[in-house]
């Protein structure tokens, strides 16, 4: 096997969750192979090519080019596309964000319409208005563990904080938060490139059933929350269907906390592994917003964004791409691009960053990015201010990483203080 083929095989093993190998040296080797690298299709039709985008400038070109690329392969050919196996039977539960027509998997007018419906609730100004409540939640979580001198940073802090925030925004009852954590975690862990755990479909079904029941309850008692607002929009006319409503809510619940949980947990681990950067941050907490951007760049929540598909035969950086070919944009590789970032493999919490792709780019850029930034700012500032001596309570090599949907994450991070 050639060196190039070996690198590609290892990267695909990582993307499918079959390998726990540190991916960043593999991504560096991929960039050496080129900005557009051919691979066997990790899902869907094995007779069609797939391509990995490894560098920043090429990645941004693909992600902003909605004329030549789409997130919906069914818009190119009459097929249900790479999510076909996940679609529920007609008499089954309502579709979720992954199986239905959520804005993650559609383009054009419908995407703009759906995005506009919730965009007003995700502006930087609105997110800043949530800061006092996010601060209360962060302090409350640390209040529960401070006297113990130890905690699991994932289970006691990184995971509950964002799920409480997004649940309160949407109007999800507190007693249901635990089930949301179970479903979201199982869905994230169970899906990957070419990977689907048998239990995932049941979790998606339960998630959809729950959301449908929640919507039915809200219809009889509208409140001052985002789900109630979306129901009122749906009832005003043809702007939002029932299917779109449920897909939208499940997307907001899942994406509204999974990304930020990963940012807080993985970001903390990166700081523990770079003690000089942790000390720099603790000595000047005003650096936290800058540090959040660097942590997103250095090892952000997503390895890749949702796949794109070529709408026509075209060329990218000298590579001939055929209509229908799958394009995987490896944002973790692009964010370490040596041609864009000085000492790109080094963590520097004071680095001034003009752009990174941790939240994607273009029309499908993460709607919740402003919320994630505020939550990250509050989470790290509060943690380091209240528990300045926080440290890993196990050796770094014993920390267990897990592969979740399109990324690596931590299921546990024991710390002491």
Distance CA 109, CA 128 (A): 29
Structure confidence by residue, pLDDT tens digits, 132-146: 999 999 999 999 999
Full residue range of the structural domain in which residue 210 is found: 3-416
What does each C-alpha distance from 162 to 130, 264, 267 come to in angstroms? Answer: 12, 10, 15
The number of beta carbons lying within 10 Å of the beta carbon of residue 387 is: 19
Q: Which pTM value belongs to this model? A: 0.91
Structure confidence by residue, pLDDT tens digits, 25-71: 999 999 999 999 998 877 666 677 799 999 999 999 999 999 999 99
Structure confidence by residue, pLDDT tens digits, 86-107: 444 445 566 676 666 678 888 8
**Contact (CB, 8 A) for 251 and 370:** no
- Beta-strand pair 326-329/49-53: parallel
The sign of the torsion formed by the CA atoms of 337, 342, 346, 352 equals negative
CATH code assigned at 73: 1.10.630.10
Report the share of the chain in percent with pLDDT over 90: 56
Distance CA 207, CA 202 (A): 8
User: Can you tell me whether residue 343 is helix, strand or coil?
Assistant: coil
Tell me how many domains the chain contains. 1
Tell me the pLDDT of the chain averaged across its residues. Answer: 87
Query: Over 50: is that where the pLDDT of 293 sits?
Result: yes
């Amino acid at each position: 096997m050639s060196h190039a083929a070996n690198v590609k095989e290892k990267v695909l093993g990582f993307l499918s969750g079959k390998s726990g190998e540190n991916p960043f040296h593999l991504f560096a080797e991929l960039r050496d192979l080129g900005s557009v690298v051919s691979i066997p299709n990790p899902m869907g039709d094995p007779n069609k090519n797939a391509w990995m985008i490894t560098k920043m400038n090429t990645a941004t070109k693909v992600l902003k080019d909605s004329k030549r690329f789409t997130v919906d392969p069914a818009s190119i050919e009459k097929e249900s596309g790479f999510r076909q196996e996940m679609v529920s039977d007609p008499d089954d539960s309502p579709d979720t964000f992954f199986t239905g027509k959520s804005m993650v998997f559609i383009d054009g007018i419908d995407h703009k319409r759906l995005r506009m419906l919730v965009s007003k609730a995700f502006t930087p100004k609105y997110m800043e208005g949530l800061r006092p409540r996010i601060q209360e939640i962060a302090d409350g979580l640390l209040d529960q563990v401070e006297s113990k001198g130890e905690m699991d940073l994932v289970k006691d802090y990184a995971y509950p904080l964002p799920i409480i925030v997004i649940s309160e925004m949407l109007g999800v009852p507190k007693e249901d938060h635990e089930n949301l954590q179970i479903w979201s975690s199982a869905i994230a862990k169970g899906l990957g490139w070419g990977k689907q755990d048998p239990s995932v479909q049941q979790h998606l079904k339960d998630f959809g059933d729950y959301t449908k029941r929640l919507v039915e309850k809200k219809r009889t008692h509208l409140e001052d929350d985002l789900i109630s607002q979306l129901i009122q929009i749906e009832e005003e006319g043809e702007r939002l269907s029932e299917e779109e409503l449920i897909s939208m809510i499940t997307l907001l619940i899942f994406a509204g906390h999974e990304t930020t949980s990963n940012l807080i947990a993985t970001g903390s681990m990166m700081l523990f592994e770079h003690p000089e950067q942790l000390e720099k941050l603790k000595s000047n907490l005003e650096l936290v917003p800058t540090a959040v951007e660097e942590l997103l760049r250095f090892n952000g929540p997503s390895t890749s964004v949702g796949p794109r598909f070529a709408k026509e035969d075209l060329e990218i950086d000298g590579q001939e791409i055929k209509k229908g070919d799958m394009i995987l944009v490896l944002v973790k590789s692009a964010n370490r691009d040596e041609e864009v970032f000085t000492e790109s493999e080094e963590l520097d919490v004071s680095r001034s960053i003009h752009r990174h792709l941790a939240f994607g780019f273009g029309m499908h850029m993460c709607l919740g990015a402003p919320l994630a930034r505020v939550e990250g700012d509050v989470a790290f500032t509060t943690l380091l201010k209240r528990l300045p001596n926080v440290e890993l309570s196990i050796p770094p090599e014993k920390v267990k990483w897990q592969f979740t949907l399109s990324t690596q994450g931590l299921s546990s991070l024991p710390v002491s203080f």
